[in-house]
Amino acid sequence: MINNTLYDLAIIGAGPAGMSAAICASEHGLKVALLDEQANFGGQIYKKLYQPSLKDESILGPDYYQGRVLIHQVQKSKIDCFFEASVWQVTYPEKSDSTLEINLSIKQQGQQLKARKLLIAAGAQERPTPFPGWTLPGVMTCGAAQILLKTSAMTPASPLVIAGSGPLLLLIAAQLHRAGVNISGLLDTRPKGRYVEALPHLAAALNNLPLLAKGLALMAEIKKANIPIYKNVTELTALANPSEHLEQVSFKTGNQHQEITCRTLLTHQGVVPNVQLTRALKLDHVWHQNQTCWHPVKDEWGQSSHPDIYIAGDASGITGAKGAAHTGRIAALKITQSLAKISSYQLAKLAQVPTKKLAKETCIRPFLDKLYYPAQTFLTPEDDTLVCRCEEVSAKDIRHMVKQGCTGPNQTKAFSRVGMGPCQGRLCGLTVSNIIAEESRLTPDEVGYYQIRNPIKPVNLSELIDLAK
């Protein structure tokens, strides 16, 4: 065991939600442990910000460097931080108000940490974007390219093509352009009509004018950059050279077949909550139609279906970095009150400001969700597309299993090993549930998701032995 401390609160994830929650809880006298898989603070959004790699700060833009405020606050606080800490299991007793046990590896050493409350702020992951050729070396996600810019001041090999939809796609296109990268094509894979579908939500979105303005500025910047833009792109395919590296991307606009030579293809179809841990903990989840993904069930304080476990930030539903920070604060306040460090009256008063600010951040989401809703082919791909990258199972295989009588993802898993590879379904789970739902004319909620088993990260024997010592 790390030490004999019984923490009041353990927080998994040191992004904006986790850091904000940690600061808030520790200010109210809670003994807090903040854990993250990475080497330092920041999560994905403020990755490497504790020691920025890029000399030229104009490339990533001011939103990234804004995160410094939070990082400085955590550094000054009395929070116990554990990095390179990968949680593989959390156990909790049946009854509430007893101790949660968190099993993890810290720098590859098996450890255990005990806490009275747990806050999961595990963030988001990019939505799986299956299409023919997506496994080829040279194809990466937009998020991956942004991470490489942040951690290593690196830009991808060109010629470069970017394909998909979503705010992050526009942001990385602008950032790479600022970094001097020549972008050979920006392929917008949304079908016609997304603007019309988003329009009814515009009025609500207007409550967050600064964010809308930022989006418009980004679009203007891309336009000015003279990047060739292709709209309503269909049949996106990545093609390889004889040595199996990406060489070309082919697609259609209208009836016209097009090809662009490239060495890197970045794709993106939005982000979804990282539910690996909340699933493994058997917390309740609900399908979110607009974001086409599952959210863990939570109340307005972030309390999950288990009374001692809370969820904040993008792990609880996509709100963006600022919104995530507010949800972190709100959850921390409620946890503080549940441990009787503040009264219900104080809670109501203290939560007012973050709640109001959160509402402002979330009002734009329905508009964005509709505007960037992925094309159907990325949700339920054509037959030949590989769905499970690890075990190499195709969409056709899944459809075939449904015809044979499989009614849910756990059955397809048993028949084909889909979702049983090292990623444990992180990159196929949504697709498999969507395909089964479509084929059996059910909702994804009715079809369900993989049963995620512990450990959620591969553990080796020596780490288990450490724990027994």
Partner 1 sequence: MPNALPFNRLETNSDTWVTLYIEDQAIQVPAGDTVAAAILSAGLLPSRTTSISSSQRAPYCLMGVCFECLVTIDGKENSQACMTQVQDGMRVSKQIQSPDLNAADTREAKHDK
Helix (H) or strand (E) holding 190: none
The tokens for 334 are: 């409620």
Residue entry with tokens 């930022």: 214
CB of 379 to partner 1, least distance (A): 18
421 contributes a contact to partner 1 by CB under 8 A: yes
Q: Out of 2, 202, 420, 442, which residue is the one contacting partner 1 (CB under 8 A)?
A: 420
Q: Which stretch binds partner 1 (CB under 8 A): 23-31, 74-82, 228-236, 453-461?
A: 453-461
Contact 227, 183 (CB under 8 A): yes
**Cα separations in angstroms, 375 against 289, 356, 370, 406:** 14, 33, 11, 26
CB of 124 to partner 1, least distance (A): 10
144 contributes a contact to partner 1 by CB under 8 A: yes
129 contributes a contact to partner 1 by CB under 8 A: no
CB of 18 to partner 1, least distance (A): 15
263 contributes a contact to partner 1 by CB under 8 A: yes
Look at the alpha carbons of 161, 164, 168, 169 in this order and tell me if their dihedral is positive or negative.
Answer: positive
Q: 86 or 385, CB closer to partner 1?
A: 86
Choose among 27, 16, 22: nearest CA to 117: 22
CB of 9 to partner 1, least distance (A): 24
Dist. CA 89–CA 94, nearest whole Å: 16
The tokens for 98 are: 């007893």
Q: 291 or 362, CB closer to partner 1?
A: 291
244 contributes a contact to partner 1 by CB under 8 A: yes
Chain residues 172-211 in contact with partner 1, contact rule CB under 8 A: 179-181
CB of 288 to partner 1, least distance (A): 19
Contact 22, 34 (CB under 8 A): yes
b/e map 118-153, b = 16+ CB within 10 Å: bbbbbbbbbbbbbbbbbebebbbbbbbbbbebbbee
Q: Out of 369, 426, 431, 434, which residue is the one contacting partner 1 (CB under 8 A)?
A: 426
**E-state strands within 166-263:** 183-188, 229-230, 233-240, 246-253, 256-261
Q: Out of 193, 200, 254, 422, which residue is the one contacting partner 1 (CB under 8 A)?
A: 422
Dist. CA 46–CA 38, nearest whole Å: 12
Q: 10 or 459, CB closer to partner 1?
A: 459
Q: Out of 15, 16, 28, 38, which residue is the one contacting partner 1 (CB under 8 A)?
A: 38
Q: 138 or 381, CB closer to partner 1?
A: 138
Q: 51 or 256, CB closer to partner 1?
A: 51
Please report how the helices 409-416 and 395-403 are oriented relative to each other, as an axis angle in degrees rounded to 10.
110
Q: 117 or 426, CB closer to partner 1?
A: 426
137 contributes a contact to partner 1 by CB under 8 A: yes
212 contributes a contact to partner 1 by CB under 8 A: no
CB of 144 to partner 1, least distance (A): 4
455 contributes a contact to partner 1 by CB under 8 A: yes
**297 Cβ contact list (under 8 Å, min separation 6):** 283, 284, 285, 286, 304, 305
Binding pattern for the stretch 427-446 against partner 1, x by CB under 8 A and - elsewhere: x-------------------
Helix (H) or strand (E) holding 73: helix 68-76
Q: Out of 2, 52, 297, 305, which residue is the one contacting partner 1 (CB under 8 A)?
A: 52
Contact 459, 110 (CB under 8 A): yes
Alpha-helix residue ranges (DSSP H) falling in 185-319? 194-198, 202-205, 209-224, 276-280
Q: 56 or 284, CB closer to partner 1?
A: 56
Q: Out of 65, 93, 99, 157, which residue is the one contacting partner 1 (CB under 8 A)?
A: 157
Q: Which stretch binds partner 1 (CB under 8 A): 60-68, 196-204, 253-261, 451-459?
A: 451-459
48 contributes a contact to partner 1 by CB under 8 A: yes
Chain residues 326-385 in contact with partner 1, contact rule CB under 8 A: none
Contact 320, 210 (CB under 8 A): no
b/e map 164-179, b = 16+ CB within 10 Å: bbbbbbbbbbbbbbbb
Q: Out of 133, 143, 273, 408, which residue is the one contacting partner 1 (CB under 8 A)?
A: 143
Chain residues 98-127 in contact with partner 1, contact rule CB under 8 A: 125-126
Contact 271, 314 (CB under 8 A): yes
Counting residues that bind partner 1 (by CB under 8 A) gives: 60
CA-angle at 244, arms to 238 and 250, nearest 5°: 20
Q: 301 or 450, CB closer to partner 1?
A: 450
Residues in contact with partner 1 by CB under 8 A are 37-39, 44, 48, 51-56, 59, 84, 86, 125-126, 135-141, 143-144, 147-148, 151-158, 179-181, 243-245, 263, 274, 389-392, 417, 420-424, 426-427, 453-455, 458-459
